Structure 1
Amino acid sequence: MRSIDPCGRLWVLDSGTVDVLNTTTQLCPPQIVVFDLRTDKLLWRHRIPKDQVPESALFTNIIADVRNNKCDEAYAYIADVLRYGVIVYSWKEDRSWRISHNFFYPDPIACRYKLDNITFRWTDGIFGLALSPLNPETNDRMLYFHPMSSYREFSVPTSILRSDSADDNPEEFKGVLGEARGMQNRHSSASGMDARGVLFYNLVTQNGVGCWNSNRPYKRSYQGLVGQNSETLSFPNDLKIDHEKRQNLWVLSNKLHKYIYASLNPDEKNFRILTGRVDDLVRGTVCDPEAEPLPETDNRIVDCLNGEL
Protein backbone atom coordinates (compact mmCIF):
# COMPACT_ATOMS: atom_id res chain seq x y z
CA MET A 1 0.00 0.00 0.00
CA ARG A 2 3.01 2.22 -0.47
CA SER A 3 5.64 2.93 -3.12
CA ILE A 4 8.84 5.01 -3.18
CA ASP A 5 9.83 6.69 -6.43
CA PRO A 6 13.32 7.81 -7.60
CA CYS A 7 12.42 11.41 -6.71
CA GLY A 8 12.45 10.71 -2.99
CA ARG A 9 8.68 10.65 -2.63
CA LEU A 10 6.63 8.14 -0.69
CA TRP A 11 3.30 7.32 -2.33
CA VAL A 12 0.78 6.01 0.19
CA LEU A 13 -2.54 4.45 -0.69
CA ASP A 14 -5.25 5.13 1.89
CA SER A 15 -8.16 2.79 1.20
CA GLY A 16 -10.34 4.72 3.62
CA THR A 17 -11.72 1.47 5.04
CA VAL A 18 -11.45 -0.26 8.41
CA ASP A 19 -12.55 -3.66 9.73
CA VAL A 20 -12.24 -5.25 6.29
CA LEU A 21 -12.47 -8.74 7.79
CA ASN A 22 -15.98 -8.09 9.07
CA THR A 23 -18.28 -5.25 8.10
CA THR A 24 -15.79 -3.12 6.08
CA THR A 25 -16.63 0.41 7.19
CA GLN A 26 -15.75 3.25 4.80
CA LEU A 27 -14.53 6.13 6.97
CA CYS A 28 -13.32 8.42 4.20
CA PRO A 29 -12.89 8.42 0.42
CA PRO A 30 -9.94 6.37 -0.84
CA GLN A 31 -7.03 8.64 -1.63
CA ILE A 32 -3.40 8.90 -2.67
CA VAL A 33 -1.13 10.87 -0.36
CA VAL A 34 2.45 11.69 -1.34
CA PHE A 35 5.18 12.64 1.14
CA ASP A 36 8.64 14.15 0.69
CA LEU A 37 11.03 11.69 2.33
CA ARG A 38 13.63 14.43 2.84
CA THR A 39 11.34 16.65 4.91
CA ASP A 40 8.58 14.23 5.96
CA LYS A 41 6.06 16.77 4.72
CA LEU A 42 2.89 16.08 2.76
CA LEU A 43 3.33 17.10 -0.88
CA TRP A 44 0.03 16.18 -2.45
CA ARG A 45 -3.28 14.49 -1.93
CA HIS A 46 -5.63 13.06 -4.54
CA ARG A 47 -9.03 11.77 -3.55
CA ILE A 48 -10.27 9.11 -5.94
CA PRO A 49 -13.63 10.27 -7.39
CA LYS A 50 -16.78 8.43 -6.37
CA ASP A 51 -17.53 7.26 -9.90
CA GLN A 52 -14.25 5.29 -9.82
CA VAL A 53 -15.06 3.56 -6.53
CA PRO A 54 -17.71 0.82 -6.86
CA GLU A 55 -19.49 -0.33 -3.74
CA SER A 56 -17.28 -2.64 -1.64
CA ALA A 57 -14.15 -1.69 -3.58
CA LEU A 58 -10.89 -2.29 -1.72
CA PHE A 59 -7.70 -0.67 -2.97
CA THR A 60 -4.71 -2.69 -1.81
CA ASN A 61 -1.63 -1.84 -3.86
CA ILE A 62 0.03 1.13 -5.53
CA ILE A 63 3.12 1.49 -7.69
CA ALA A 64 4.65 4.77 -8.90
CA ASP A 65 6.08 5.18 -12.41
CA VAL A 66 8.74 7.87 -12.97
CA ARG A 67 10.88 7.94 -16.11
CA ASN A 68 14.15 9.70 -16.88
CA ASN A 69 13.93 11.63 -13.59
CA LYS A 70 10.91 13.60 -14.85
CA CYS A 71 9.29 13.80 -11.44
CA ASP A 72 6.43 16.05 -12.57
CA GLU A 73 5.33 13.49 -15.17
CA ALA A 74 4.83 10.62 -12.73
CA TYR A 75 1.98 8.15 -12.90
CA ALA A 76 0.66 5.70 -10.34
CA TYR A 77 -1.23 2.44 -10.81
CA ILE A 78 -3.58 1.15 -8.11
CA ALA A 79 -5.19 -2.28 -7.73
CA ASP A 80 -8.79 -2.83 -6.61
CA VAL A 81 -8.72 -6.38 -5.29
CA LEU A 82 -12.45 -6.83 -4.65
CA ARG A 83 -14.07 -5.02 -7.57
CA TYR A 84 -11.38 -6.02 -10.03
CA GLY A 85 -10.11 -2.80 -11.52
CA VAL A 86 -7.06 -0.56 -11.88
CA ILE A 87 -6.95 3.15 -11.12
CA VAL A 88 -4.42 5.18 -13.11
CA TYR A 89 -3.33 8.54 -11.69
CA SER A 90 -1.45 11.32 -13.51
CA TRP A 91 0.55 13.65 -11.26
CA LYS A 92 0.86 16.29 -13.99
CA GLU A 93 -2.87 16.39 -14.71
CA ASP A 94 -3.91 15.59 -11.13
CA ARG A 95 -6.64 13.29 -12.31
CA SER A 96 -7.37 9.60 -12.31
CA TRP A 97 -9.40 7.10 -14.32
CA ARG A 98 -10.53 3.53 -13.83
CA ILE A 99 -9.82 0.57 -16.12
CA SER A 100 -11.65 -2.75 -16.06
CA HIS A 101 -10.62 -6.02 -17.69
CA ASN A 102 -11.33 -9.73 -17.29
CA PHE A 103 -7.61 -10.31 -16.59
CA PHE A 104 -8.17 -8.55 -13.26
CA TYR A 105 -10.66 -11.18 -12.07
CA PRO A 106 -9.90 -14.20 -9.86
CA ASP A 107 -9.75 -17.70 -11.28
CA PRO A 108 -12.46 -19.84 -9.60
CA ILE A 109 -10.11 -22.82 -9.73
CA ALA A 110 -7.60 -20.91 -7.60
CA CYS A 111 -9.91 -19.59 -4.88
CA ARG A 112 -9.15 -22.42 -2.45
CA TYR A 113 -6.17 -21.87 -0.16
CA LYS A 114 -4.58 -24.37 2.20
CA LEU A 115 -1.72 -23.65 4.57
CA ASP A 116 -0.76 -25.23 7.91
CA ASN A 117 -3.90 -27.38 7.88
CA ILE A 118 -6.04 -24.25 7.51
CA THR A 119 -8.30 -24.19 4.46
CA PHE A 120 -10.05 -21.03 3.34
CA ARG A 121 -11.50 -19.48 0.19
CA TRP A 122 -10.74 -16.02 -1.13
CA THR A 123 -12.00 -14.42 -4.34
CA ASP A 124 -9.24 -11.82 -4.52
CA GLY A 125 -8.65 -10.22 -7.89
CA ILE A 126 -5.75 -8.11 -9.14
CA PHE A 127 -3.18 -7.60 -6.42
CA GLY A 128 0.47 -7.90 -7.47
CA LEU A 129 1.90 -5.02 -9.54
CA ALA A 130 5.45 -4.78 -10.89
CA LEU A 131 7.04 -2.44 -13.43
CA SER A 132 9.67 -3.53 -15.92
CA PRO A 133 12.79 -1.46 -16.61
CA LEU A 134 12.28 1.23 -19.23
CA ASN A 135 12.63 -0.06 -22.79
CA PRO A 136 14.98 2.41 -24.54
CA GLU A 137 13.57 1.54 -27.97
CA THR A 138 9.91 2.17 -27.12
CA ASN A 139 10.38 4.45 -24.10
CA ASP A 140 7.71 2.30 -22.46
CA ARG A 141 7.46 -0.07 -19.54
CA MET A 142 5.44 -3.21 -18.99
CA LEU A 143 3.16 -3.56 -16.01
CA TYR A 144 3.21 -7.16 -14.79
CA PHE A 145 0.21 -8.09 -12.68
CA HIS A 146 -1.79 -11.00 -11.33
CA PRO A 147 -4.92 -11.65 -9.30
CA MET A 148 -4.13 -13.19 -5.94
CA SER A 149 -6.61 -16.00 -6.53
CA SER A 150 -4.90 -17.11 -9.71
CA TYR A 151 -1.85 -19.04 -10.87
CA ARG A 152 -1.20 -16.88 -13.94
CA GLU A 153 0.79 -13.75 -14.68
CA PHE A 154 -0.29 -11.01 -17.10
CA SER A 155 1.32 -7.93 -18.62
CA VAL A 156 0.28 -4.79 -20.43
CA PRO A 157 2.28 -1.84 -21.83
CA THR A 158 1.82 1.12 -19.53
CA SER A 159 1.26 3.32 -22.59
CA ILE A 160 -2.12 1.60 -22.88
CA LEU A 161 -2.99 2.26 -19.24
CA ARG A 162 -1.97 5.90 -19.57
CA SER A 163 -4.68 6.40 -22.15
CA ASP A 164 -7.98 7.13 -20.44
CA SER A 165 -9.69 5.34 -23.34
CA ALA A 166 -8.09 2.01 -22.41
CA ASP A 167 -11.35 0.87 -20.86
CA ASP A 168 -12.97 1.13 -24.30
CA ASN A 169 -10.29 -1.02 -25.96
CA PRO A 170 -9.98 -4.24 -23.94
CA GLU A 171 -8.45 -6.05 -26.93
CA GLU A 172 -5.24 -4.07 -26.28
CA PHE A 173 -4.62 -6.33 -23.28
CA LYS A 174 -2.79 -9.21 -24.96
CA GLY A 175 -0.37 -10.20 -22.24
CA VAL A 176 -1.24 -13.62 -20.87
CA LEU A 177 2.24 -14.83 -20.00
CA GLY A 178 3.06 -18.40 -20.99
CA GLU A 179 1.61 -21.03 -18.73
CA ALA A 180 0.33 -21.14 -15.16
CA ARG A 181 2.84 -21.21 -12.31
CA GLY A 182 1.24 -24.50 -11.23
CA MET A 183 -2.07 -26.16 -10.55
CA GLN A 184 -2.36 -25.79 -6.78
CA ASN A 185 -1.02 -23.62 -3.96
CA ARG A 186 0.79 -21.19 -6.25
CA HIS A 187 -0.97 -18.10 -4.90
CA SER A 188 0.88 -14.81 -4.96
CA SER A 189 -0.13 -11.37 -3.76
CA ALA A 190 2.86 -9.03 -4.02
CA SER A 191 5.55 -8.79 -6.68
CA GLY A 192 8.41 -6.55 -7.75
CA MET A 193 10.93 -6.40 -10.60
CA ASP A 194 14.57 -5.42 -10.30
CA ALA A 195 16.63 -3.33 -12.72
CA ARG A 196 17.75 -6.46 -14.59
CA GLY A 197 14.20 -7.57 -15.30
CA VAL A 198 13.95 -10.32 -12.68
CA LEU A 199 10.46 -10.61 -11.22
CA PHE A 200 10.16 -11.60 -7.56
CA TYR A 201 6.83 -12.73 -6.14
CA ASN A 202 5.66 -14.08 -2.81
CA LEU A 203 4.16 -17.56 -2.58
CA VAL A 204 1.81 -17.17 0.36
CA THR A 205 0.62 -20.78 0.45
CA GLN A 206 4.13 -22.16 0.09
CA ASN A 207 5.85 -19.95 2.67
CA GLY A 208 8.29 -18.89 0.00
CA VAL A 209 9.45 -16.34 -2.54
CA GLY A 210 9.68 -17.17 -6.23
CA CYS A 211 11.40 -15.52 -9.17
CA TRP A 212 11.32 -15.37 -12.96
CA ASN A 213 13.71 -13.74 -15.42
CA SER A 214 11.52 -11.74 -17.82
CA ASN A 215 14.06 -12.35 -20.59
CA ARG A 216 13.09 -16.03 -20.53
CA PRO A 217 9.82 -17.76 -21.49
CA TYR A 218 7.18 -17.79 -18.77
CA LYS A 219 7.29 -21.53 -18.11
CA ARG A 220 7.29 -23.52 -14.91
CA SER A 221 10.81 -24.69 -15.65
CA TYR A 222 11.92 -21.05 -15.45
CA GLN A 223 10.16 -20.35 -12.15
CA GLY A 224 12.84 -20.26 -9.46
CA LEU A 225 12.65 -20.33 -5.68
CA VAL A 226 14.86 -17.90 -3.78
CA GLY A 227 13.62 -18.74 -0.29
CA GLN A 228 11.25 -21.05 1.54
CA ASN A 229 10.82 -21.52 5.27
CA SER A 230 7.70 -22.49 7.21
CA GLU A 231 8.83 -20.47 10.23
CA THR A 232 10.52 -17.28 9.01
CA LEU A 233 8.44 -16.99 5.83
CA SER A 234 5.10 -18.06 7.27
CA PHE A 235 2.66 -16.24 4.95
CA PRO A 236 5.06 -13.81 3.21
CA ASN A 237 2.42 -11.14 2.79
CA ASP A 238 4.33 -8.36 1.04
CA LEU A 239 7.60 -7.62 -0.72
CA LYS A 240 9.40 -4.62 -2.18
CA ILE A 241 12.60 -3.94 -4.12
CA ASP A 242 14.49 -0.78 -3.25
CA HIS A 243 16.28 1.72 -5.52
CA GLU A 244 19.81 1.20 -4.20
CA LYS A 245 22.64 0.74 -6.68
CA ARG A 246 22.85 -2.86 -5.49
CA GLN A 247 19.18 -3.55 -5.06
CA ASN A 248 17.69 -5.38 -2.11
CA LEU A 249 14.55 -7.44 -1.76
CA TRP A 250 12.49 -6.78 1.37
CA VAL A 251 9.87 -9.30 2.52
CA LEU A 252 7.28 -9.05 5.29
CA SER A 253 5.88 -12.28 6.76
CA ASN A 254 3.01 -12.06 9.25
CA LYS A 255 1.14 -15.39 9.61
CA LEU A 256 -1.98 -13.72 8.27
CA HIS A 257 -3.84 -17.02 7.82
CA LYS A 258 -3.42 -17.83 11.51
CA TYR A 259 -4.39 -14.32 12.56
CA ILE A 260 -7.66 -14.54 10.62
CA TYR A 261 -8.68 -18.18 10.98
CA ALA A 262 -6.89 -19.42 14.12
CA SER A 263 -4.80 -17.42 16.59
CA LEU A 264 -1.31 -16.05 17.03
CA ASN A 265 0.96 -17.31 19.79
CA PRO A 266 2.31 -14.25 21.62
CA ASP A 267 5.34 -16.26 22.72
CA GLU A 268 6.42 -16.74 19.10
CA LYS A 269 7.84 -14.32 16.56
CA ASN A 270 4.80 -13.67 14.38
CA PHE A 271 6.06 -10.75 12.30
CA ARG A 272 9.34 -10.62 10.43
CA ILE A 273 11.08 -8.38 7.91
CA LEU A 274 13.67 -10.22 5.82
CA THR A 275 16.04 -8.77 3.26
CA GLY A 276 18.73 -9.85 0.82
CA ARG A 277 20.56 -8.51 -2.22
CA VAL A 278 18.73 -9.48 -5.38
CA ASP A 279 21.86 -10.60 -7.22
CA ASP A 280 22.79 -12.90 -4.33
CA LEU A 281 19.27 -14.31 -4.08
CA VAL A 282 19.04 -15.40 -7.72
CA ARG A 283 22.60 -16.64 -8.07
CA GLY A 284 22.55 -20.30 -9.07
CA THR A 285 18.83 -20.29 -9.89
CA VAL A 286 17.07 -20.32 -13.27
CA CYS A 287 16.32 -16.62 -12.66
CA ASP A 288 19.99 -15.61 -12.72
CA PRO A 289 20.55 -13.34 -15.77
CA GLU A 290 23.99 -14.95 -16.11
CA ALA A 291 22.55 -18.47 -16.32
CA GLU A 292 22.35 -20.32 -19.62
CA PRO A 293 18.85 -20.99 -21.05
CA LEU A 294 17.41 -24.38 -20.20
CA PRO A 295 16.86 -27.03 -22.88
CA GLU A 296 13.26 -27.36 -23.99
CA THR A 297 11.26 -29.84 -21.88
CA ASP A 298 7.74 -31.14 -21.86
CA ASN A 299 6.22 -29.71 -18.68
CA ARG A 300 3.35 -32.19 -18.86
CA ILE A 301 5.78 -34.92 -17.83
CA VAL A 302 6.93 -32.88 -14.84
CA ASP A 303 3.31 -32.20 -13.86
CA CYS A 304 2.44 -35.87 -14.06
CA LEU A 305 5.37 -36.82 -11.83
CA ASN A 306 4.30 -34.18 -9.31
CA GLY A 307 0.72 -35.38 -9.37
CA GLU A 308 -0.53 -32.08 -10.72
CA LEU A 309 -2.00 -33.14 -14.05
Structure 2
Amino acid sequence: MDVSLTLWVLTVVGLCALIAVDFFIGGRKPHEVSIKEAGIWTIVWIVLAALFGLGLMVWGGGQIGGEFFAGYITEKSLSVDNLFVFVLIMAKFAVPAIYQQRVLMIGVLIALVLRAVFIAAGAAAINTFAWVFFIFGAFLIYTAWKLIQEARADEEDEEWEEGRLMKFIERRVPSTDKWHGTKMFVRENGKRLVTPMLIVMLAIGTTDVLFALDSIPAIFGLTQDPYVVFTANAFALMGLRQLYFLIGGLLKKLVHLSYGLSIILGFIGVKLVLHAIHETTSLHVPEISIPVSLGVICGVLVITTITSLMASKKQQAAEAEKAERSEKQDIEA
Protein backbone atom coordinates (compact mmCIF):
# COMPACT_ATOMS: atom_id res chain seq x y z
CA MET A 1 0.00 0.00 0.00
CA ASP A 2 1.38 3.39 -1.02
CA VAL A 3 1.24 5.61 2.08
CA SER A 4 2.18 9.26 1.73
CA LEU A 5 4.18 11.21 4.30
CA THR A 6 1.05 13.25 5.02
CA LEU A 7 -0.91 10.12 5.98
CA TRP A 8 1.94 8.94 8.19
CA VAL A 9 1.97 12.29 9.99
CA LEU A 10 -1.81 12.33 10.37
CA THR A 11 -1.76 8.78 11.72
CA VAL A 12 0.90 9.55 14.33
CA VAL A 13 -0.89 12.76 15.32
CA GLY A 14 -4.19 10.86 15.59
CA LEU A 15 -2.62 8.16 17.78
CA CYS A 16 -1.05 10.84 20.00
CA ALA A 17 -4.47 12.52 20.32
CA LEU A 18 -6.07 9.21 21.38
CA ILE A 19 -3.32 8.64 23.95
CA ALA A 20 -3.82 12.17 25.28
CA VAL A 21 -7.57 11.61 25.63
CA ASP A 22 -6.92 8.31 27.41
CA PHE A 23 -4.51 10.06 29.78
CA PHE A 24 -6.66 13.09 30.63
CA ILE A 25 -9.85 11.07 31.10
CA GLY A 26 -8.58 8.01 32.94
CA GLY A 27 -4.87 8.27 33.67
CA ARG A 28 -4.08 11.79 34.86
CA LYS A 29 -5.09 11.25 38.50
CA PRO A 30 -3.37 8.31 40.24
CA HIS A 31 -5.96 5.77 41.38
CA GLU A 32 -6.64 2.06 41.62
CA VAL A 33 -8.20 0.86 38.38
CA SER A 34 -11.47 -1.01 38.84
CA ILE A 35 -12.54 -3.97 36.71
CA LYS A 36 -15.37 -1.84 35.31
CA GLU A 37 -13.04 0.98 34.23
CA ALA A 38 -10.54 -1.46 32.71
CA GLY A 39 -13.34 -3.27 30.88
CA ILE A 40 -14.78 -0.07 29.40
CA TRP A 41 -11.41 1.17 28.15
CA THR A 42 -10.50 -2.27 26.79
CA ILE A 43 -13.70 -2.26 24.74
CA VAL A 44 -13.00 1.31 23.58
CA TRP A 45 -9.54 0.41 22.27
CA ILE A 46 -10.81 -2.77 20.58
CA VAL A 47 -13.61 -0.81 18.90
CA LEU A 48 -11.14 1.86 17.75
CA ALA A 49 -8.88 -0.84 16.29
CA ALA A 50 -11.86 -2.46 14.54
CA LEU A 51 -12.96 0.88 13.07
CA PHE A 52 -9.44 1.60 11.87
CA GLY A 53 -9.24 -1.86 10.27
CA LEU A 54 -12.59 -1.34 8.53
CA GLY A 55 -11.34 2.05 7.31
CA LEU A 56 -8.29 0.35 5.82
CA MET A 57 -10.59 -2.14 4.07
CA VAL A 58 -12.60 0.69 2.51
CA TRP A 59 -9.57 2.77 1.58
CA GLY A 60 -6.93 0.13 0.76
CA GLY A 61 -9.01 -2.96 -0.05
CA GLY A 62 -9.89 -6.22 1.65
CA GLN A 63 -6.33 -7.58 1.47
CA ILE A 64 -4.87 -4.68 3.49
CA GLY A 65 -7.75 -4.76 5.97
CA GLY A 66 -7.32 -8.50 6.45
CA GLU A 67 -3.59 -8.06 7.03
CA PHE A 68 -4.27 -5.43 9.69
CA PHE A 69 -6.75 -7.62 11.58
CA ALA A 70 -4.45 -10.67 11.37
CA GLY A 71 -1.52 -8.57 12.60
CA TYR A 72 -3.55 -6.90 15.34
CA ILE A 73 -4.89 -10.18 16.72
CA THR A 74 -1.43 -11.76 16.60
CA GLU A 75 0.22 -8.81 18.38
CA LYS A 76 -2.61 -8.68 20.93
CA SER A 77 -2.29 -12.38 21.74
CA LEU A 78 1.51 -12.19 22.00
CA SER A 79 1.25 -9.09 24.20
CA VAL A 80 -0.82 -11.06 26.73
CA ASP A 81 2.36 -13.02 27.40
CA ASN A 82 4.02 -9.70 28.30
CA LEU A 83 1.54 -9.24 31.12
CA PHE A 84 3.04 -12.14 33.07
CA VAL A 85 6.38 -10.32 33.16
CA PHE A 86 4.73 -6.97 33.92
CA VAL A 87 3.13 -8.54 37.00
CA LEU A 88 6.56 -9.73 38.17
CA ILE A 89 8.13 -6.31 37.55
CA MET A 90 5.37 -4.58 39.53
CA ALA A 91 5.91 -7.02 42.40
CA LYS A 92 9.71 -6.65 42.38
CA PHE A 93 9.55 -2.86 42.59
CA ALA A 94 6.57 -2.98 44.99
CA VAL A 95 4.67 -0.48 42.86
CA PRO A 96 1.71 0.95 44.84
CA ALA A 97 -1.64 0.09 43.21
CA ILE A 98 -2.52 3.75 42.61
CA TYR A 99 0.64 4.30 40.52
CA GLN A 100 0.52 1.14 38.42
CA GLN A 101 -1.63 2.76 35.74
CA ARG A 102 0.82 5.64 35.25
CA VAL A 103 3.77 3.23 35.16
CA LEU A 104 2.14 1.12 32.47
CA MET A 105 1.05 4.13 30.39
CA ILE A 106 4.57 5.60 30.13
CA GLY A 107 6.20 2.17 29.90
CA VAL A 108 3.98 1.21 26.97
CA LEU A 109 4.73 4.52 25.21
CA ILE A 110 8.47 3.81 25.56
CA ALA A 111 7.84 0.34 24.14
CA LEU A 112 5.89 1.77 21.19
CA VAL A 113 8.73 4.16 20.27
CA LEU A 114 11.32 1.36 20.48
CA ARG A 115 9.11 -0.95 18.41
CA ALA A 116 8.78 1.76 15.75
CA VAL A 117 12.58 1.68 15.41
CA PHE A 118 12.50 -2.13 15.11
CA ILE A 119 9.75 -1.95 12.48
CA ALA A 120 11.66 0.62 10.40
CA ALA A 121 14.81 -1.53 10.53
CA GLY A 122 12.87 -4.69 9.67
CA ALA A 123 11.09 -3.03 6.73
CA ALA A 124 14.40 -1.70 5.36
CA ALA A 125 16.01 -5.14 5.61
CA ILE A 126 13.08 -6.88 3.92
CA ASN A 127 12.98 -4.37 1.07
CA THR A 128 16.70 -4.82 0.45
CA PHE A 129 17.23 -8.52 1.16
CA ALA A 130 14.43 -11.00 0.46
CA TRP A 131 16.46 -13.78 2.15
CA VAL A 132 15.81 -12.05 5.50
CA PHE A 133 12.49 -13.93 5.49
CA PHE A 134 14.47 -17.15 5.97
CA ILE A 135 16.05 -15.71 9.14
CA PHE A 136 12.71 -14.42 10.47
CA GLY A 137 11.01 -17.73 9.73
CA ALA A 138 13.75 -19.84 11.32
CA PHE A 139 13.80 -17.59 14.39
CA LEU A 140 10.03 -17.91 14.87
CA ILE A 141 10.14 -21.69 14.51
CA TYR A 142 12.99 -21.83 17.04
CA THR A 143 11.03 -19.54 19.43
CA ALA A 144 7.97 -21.76 19.04
CA TRP A 145 10.02 -24.84 19.93
CA LYS A 146 11.49 -23.10 22.99
CA LEU A 147 8.02 -22.10 24.18
CA ILE A 148 6.84 -25.70 23.95
CA GLN A 149 9.94 -26.93 25.82
CA GLU A 150 9.32 -24.41 28.60
CA ALA A 151 5.65 -25.28 28.80
CA ARG A 152 6.36 -29.02 28.97
CA ALA A 153 8.97 -28.47 31.65
CA ASP A 154 6.41 -26.36 33.53
CA GLU A 155 9.02 -23.71 34.18
CA GLU A 156 7.55 -20.66 35.86
CA ASP A 157 9.84 -17.75 36.65
CA GLU A 158 9.00 -16.66 40.16
CA GLU A 159 11.20 -13.59 39.88
CA TRP A 160 11.87 -11.09 37.16
CA GLU A 161 15.54 -10.77 36.27
CA GLU A 162 16.83 -7.32 35.49
CA GLY A 163 18.58 -6.76 32.19
CA ARG A 164 22.01 -5.19 31.83
CA LEU A 165 20.55 -1.77 31.04
CA MET A 166 18.49 -1.69 34.23
CA LYS A 167 21.43 -2.87 36.35
CA PHE A 168 23.65 -0.20 34.79
CA ILE A 169 21.11 2.54 35.54
CA GLU A 170 20.65 1.43 39.14
CA ARG A 171 24.44 1.25 39.69
CA ARG A 172 25.50 4.47 37.95
CA VAL A 173 22.51 6.82 38.31
CA PRO A 174 21.90 8.40 41.75
CA SER A 175 18.50 7.15 42.88
CA THR A 176 16.20 6.74 45.86
CA ASP A 177 14.13 3.72 46.82
CA LYS A 178 11.32 5.88 48.20
CA TRP A 179 8.23 6.67 46.14
CA HIS A 180 7.40 10.35 45.68
CA GLY A 181 4.00 10.16 44.04
CA THR A 182 4.28 10.18 40.25
CA LYS A 183 7.53 12.19 40.27
CA MET A 184 10.37 10.67 38.29
CA PHE A 185 13.03 12.95 39.77
CA VAL A 186 13.40 14.51 43.21
CA ARG A 187 16.00 16.72 44.85
CA GLU A 188 17.30 15.67 48.25
CA ASN A 189 20.11 17.52 50.07
CA GLY A 190 20.80 19.45 46.89
CA LYS A 191 21.25 16.25 44.87
CA ARG A 192 19.02 15.24 41.97
CA LEU A 193 17.80 11.64 42.34
CA VAL A 194 15.87 9.22 40.14
CA THR A 195 12.77 7.73 41.79
CA PRO A 196 11.48 4.14 41.47
CA MET A 197 8.74 5.53 39.18
CA LEU A 198 11.22 6.20 36.37
CA ILE A 199 13.15 2.95 36.97
CA VAL A 200 10.06 0.76 36.70
CA MET A 201 8.79 2.68 33.64
CA LEU A 202 12.10 1.96 31.89
CA ALA A 203 11.89 -1.67 33.02
CA ILE A 204 8.44 -2.07 31.44
CA GLY A 205 9.44 -0.34 28.21
CA THR A 206 12.78 -2.07 27.67
CA THR A 207 11.48 -5.50 28.68
CA ASP A 208 8.83 -5.22 25.96
CA VAL A 209 11.61 -4.89 23.39
CA LEU A 210 12.66 -8.46 24.20
CA PHE A 211 9.15 -9.63 23.33
CA ALA A 212 9.26 -7.56 20.14
CA LEU A 213 12.10 -9.82 18.94
CA ASP A 214 9.50 -12.46 18.12
CA SER A 215 6.35 -10.35 17.64
CA ILE A 216 7.83 -8.03 14.98
CA PRO A 217 9.05 -10.92 12.75
CA ALA A 218 5.68 -12.59 13.35
CA ILE A 219 3.67 -9.67 11.99
CA PHE A 220 6.06 -9.29 9.04
CA GLY A 221 5.08 -12.85 8.26
CA LEU A 222 1.50 -11.64 7.80
CA THR A 223 2.16 -8.35 6.03
CA GLN A 224 5.21 -6.56 4.65
CA ASP A 225 3.48 -3.17 4.73
CA PRO A 226 5.27 -0.97 7.34
CA TYR A 227 2.14 1.14 7.81
CA VAL A 228 0.01 -1.89 8.67
CA VAL A 229 2.76 -3.34 10.89
CA PHE A 230 3.11 -0.07 12.84
CA THR A 231 -0.61 0.62 13.30
CA ALA A 232 -1.38 -2.97 14.31
CA ASN A 233 1.39 -2.78 16.92
CA ALA A 234 0.22 0.62 18.12
CA PHE A 235 -3.41 -0.44 18.68
CA ALA A 236 -2.34 -3.71 20.32
CA LEU A 237 0.03 -1.95 22.72
CA MET A 238 -2.22 1.00 23.57
CA GLY A 239 -4.90 -1.29 24.93
CA LEU A 240 -2.38 -3.34 26.90
CA ARG A 241 -2.57 -1.17 30.03
CA GLN A 242 -6.29 -1.73 30.49
CA LEU A 243 -5.92 -5.41 29.65
CA TYR A 244 -3.40 -5.72 32.48
CA PHE A 245 -6.01 -4.69 35.05
CA LEU A 246 -8.86 -6.55 33.36
CA ILE A 247 -7.35 -10.02 33.13
CA GLY A 248 -4.68 -9.75 35.83
CA GLY A 249 -6.44 -12.41 37.89
CA LEU A 250 -7.13 -14.54 34.83
CA LEU A 251 -3.50 -14.85 33.74
CA LYS A 252 -2.75 -17.79 36.01
CA LYS A 253 -5.70 -19.64 34.50
CA LEU A 254 -4.32 -19.43 30.95
CA VAL A 255 -2.17 -22.50 31.54
CA HIS A 256 -2.08 -23.48 27.86
CA LEU A 257 -1.23 -20.01 26.55
CA SER A 258 2.39 -20.95 25.81
CA TYR A 259 1.24 -23.89 23.67
CA GLY A 260 -1.14 -21.65 21.72
CA LEU A 261 1.48 -18.96 21.14
CA SER A 262 4.03 -21.57 20.08
CA ILE A 263 1.60 -22.94 17.47
CA ILE A 264 0.93 -19.42 16.15
CA LEU A 265 4.63 -18.52 15.98
CA GLY A 266 5.50 -21.86 14.37
CA PHE A 267 2.71 -21.45 11.81
CA ILE A 268 3.85 -17.93 10.88
CA GLY A 269 7.47 -19.15 10.78
CA VAL A 270 6.54 -21.79 8.20
CA LYS A 271 4.59 -19.15 6.28
CA LEU A 272 7.68 -16.91 6.21
CA VAL A 273 9.94 -19.72 4.99
CA LEU A 274 7.49 -20.58 2.19
CA HIS A 275 7.34 -16.90 1.23
CA ALA A 276 11.15 -16.70 1.24
CA ILE A 277 11.39 -19.74 -1.07
CA HIS A 278 8.81 -18.15 -3.36
CA GLU A 279 10.71 -14.82 -3.46
CA THR A 280 14.28 -16.10 -3.80
CA THR A 281 13.97 -19.27 -5.90
CA SER A 282 12.11 -20.54 -8.93
CA LEU A 283 10.47 -23.32 -6.94
CA HIS A 284 6.69 -23.38 -6.90
CA VAL A 285 5.59 -23.62 -3.29
CA PRO A 286 2.16 -22.92 -1.80
CA GLU A 287 1.72 -19.58 -0.06
CA ILE A 288 -0.63 -19.24 2.89
CA SER A 289 -3.29 -16.59 2.37
CA ILE A 290 -4.36 -13.97 4.91
CA PRO A 291 -7.86 -15.48 5.42
CA VAL A 292 -6.25 -18.85 6.24
CA SER A 293 -3.75 -17.16 8.57
CA LEU A 294 -6.52 -15.23 10.33
CA GLY A 295 -8.59 -18.40 10.72
CA VAL A 296 -5.68 -20.39 12.18
CA ILE A 297 -4.70 -17.61 14.63
CA CYS A 298 -8.27 -17.06 15.88
CA GLY A 299 -8.96 -20.81 16.06
CA VAL A 300 -5.81 -21.51 18.08
CA LEU A 301 -6.57 -18.68 20.53
CA VAL A 302 -10.17 -19.82 21.08
CA ILE A 303 -9.18 -23.46 21.60
CA THR A 304 -6.27 -22.49 23.88
CA THR A 305 -8.51 -20.31 26.04
CA ILE A 306 -11.21 -22.98 26.37
CA THR A 307 -8.78 -25.78 27.22
CA SER A 308 -6.91 -23.51 29.67
CA LEU A 309 -10.06 -22.64 31.58
CA MET A 310 -11.15 -26.29 31.63
CA ALA A 311 -7.73 -27.39 32.93
CA SER A 312 -7.70 -24.66 35.58
CA LYS A 313 -11.18 -25.59 36.77
CA LYS A 314 -10.17 -29.25 37.00
CA GLN A 315 -7.01 -28.36 38.90
CA GLN A 316 -8.94 -26.18 41.37
CA ALA A 317 -11.43 -28.99 41.99
CA ALA A 318 -8.57 -31.44 42.62
CA GLU A 319 -6.87 -29.03 45.03
CA ALA A 320 -10.15 -28.43 46.89
CA GLU A 321 -10.72 -32.18 47.18
CA LYS A 322 -7.16 -32.70 48.45
CA ALA A 323 -7.57 -29.94 51.04
CA GLU A 324 -10.86 -31.45 52.18
CA ARG A 325 -9.27 -34.89 52.61
CA SER A 326 -6.38 -33.39 54.53
CA GLU A 327 -8.79 -31.56 56.83
CA LYS A 328 -10.73 -34.78 57.52
CA GLN A 329 -7.49 -36.62 58.34
CA ASP A 330 -6.50 -33.86 60.79
CA ILE A 331 -9.90 -34.08 62.50
CA GLU A 332 -9.69 -37.87 62.77
CA ALA A 333 -6.19 -37.66 64.16
Q: Is TM (by shorter chain) over 0.5?
A: no
Higher relative CO (Cα under 8 Å, sequence separation at least 6) belongs to 2
The structure with more strand, counted as a fraction of residues: 1
TM-score by length of 1: 0.25
Larger Rg: 2
